[in-house]
């Protein structure tokens, strides 16, 4: 039976599309995207999902306390029998309730080499700091911001003529590759966690 992914996003949805393309191309075998959810009504990623005939809906978060909202989202993910939750530009911190509902079952993609430059505008932070290498990280999610054990990272050189846009574009290309690879590793159970370290092994199914 296919493993079922639930994708949470707040905006554009290019990482969602990269995951969907990888599933179609069998780079992530035996998987399907069961549901795409957004906390924002107008998120373009929702339309991108619908145009691929993937169920997608907004669950507006406005005015709701964090855990109350997360209980709604977890209920919908469970209704859709989701095995693995993929945050893809989802602009909310998860409550301990949400994290506890999917043990080692939530991944996030972040556009920096964590633990450098967590939070917003990571690419701008990297440029302003003057690092020579930037990149992206796929990590398991805990209740802290952009924390949790790291599954994969990719490095991107920063050139003197890079702007925030050009650096973001280079990083995004790598995001699309490593997110699919990380999802595959996790679904195939090809890892073990020791402390903060995710060690890559030969696998068992999730
Ligand atoms: C990506 O840069 C991702 O790393 C960050 O938010 C952005 C989302 O882009 N968490 P998209 O919506 O997947 O195109």
Whether 73 has a pLDDT exceeding 90, the answer reads yes
CA distance 142 to 98: 9
Q: Are 152 and 178 in contact (CB under 8 A)?
A: yes
Which CATH number does the domain housing residue 162 bear? 3.40.50.170
Q: Is the CB of 109 under 6 A from ligand 1?
A: yes
Q: Are 196 and 149 in contact (CB under 8 A)?
A: yes
Q: Is the CB of 9 under 6 A from ligand 1?
A: yes
When pLDDT is cut at 50, 70 and 90, the band that residue 170 belongs to is very high
Out of 75, 103, 131, a domain closes at 103
Torsion sign (Cα): 66, 119, 194, 180: positive
Whether 12 has a pLDDT exceeding 70, the answer reads yes
Domain, as residue range, for 26: 1-103
pLDDT average, residue stretch 37-62: 97
CA atoms within a 13 Å half-sphere pointing along the CA-CB vector of 133? 7
Q: What is the pLDDT of residue 62?
A: 87
| pTM across the whole model | 0.96
Residue nearest atom 10 of ligand 1, based on CA coordinates: 89
Supply 156's token pair: 């991107």
């Amino acid at each position: 039976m296919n493993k079922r992914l639930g994708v949470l996003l707040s905006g554009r949805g290019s990482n969602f599309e990269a995951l969907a393309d990888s599933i179609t191309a069998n780079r992530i075998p035996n998987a399907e995207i069961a549901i795409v959810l957004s906390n924002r009504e107008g998120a373009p990623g929702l339309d991108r999902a619908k145009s691929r005939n993937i169920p997608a809906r907004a669950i507006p978060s406005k005015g709701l306390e964090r855990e109350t909202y997360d209980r709604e989202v977890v209920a919908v993910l469970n209704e859709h029998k989701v095995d693995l939750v993929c945050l893809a530009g989802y602009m909310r911190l998860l409550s301990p309730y949400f994290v506890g509902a999917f043990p080692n079952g939530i991944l996030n993609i972040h556009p920096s080499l964590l633990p450098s430059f967590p939070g917003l505008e990571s690419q701008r932070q990297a440029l302003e700091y003057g690092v020579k290498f930037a990149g992206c990280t796929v990590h398991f999610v805990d209740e802290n911001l952009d924390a949790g054990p790291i599954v994969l990272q990719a490095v991107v050189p920063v050139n003197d003529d890079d702007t925030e846009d050009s650096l973001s574009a280079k990083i995004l290309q790598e995001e699309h590759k490593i997110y699919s690879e990380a999802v595959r590793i996790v679904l195939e159970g090809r890892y073990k966690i020791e402390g903060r370290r995710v060690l890559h092994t030969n696998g068992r199914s999730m």
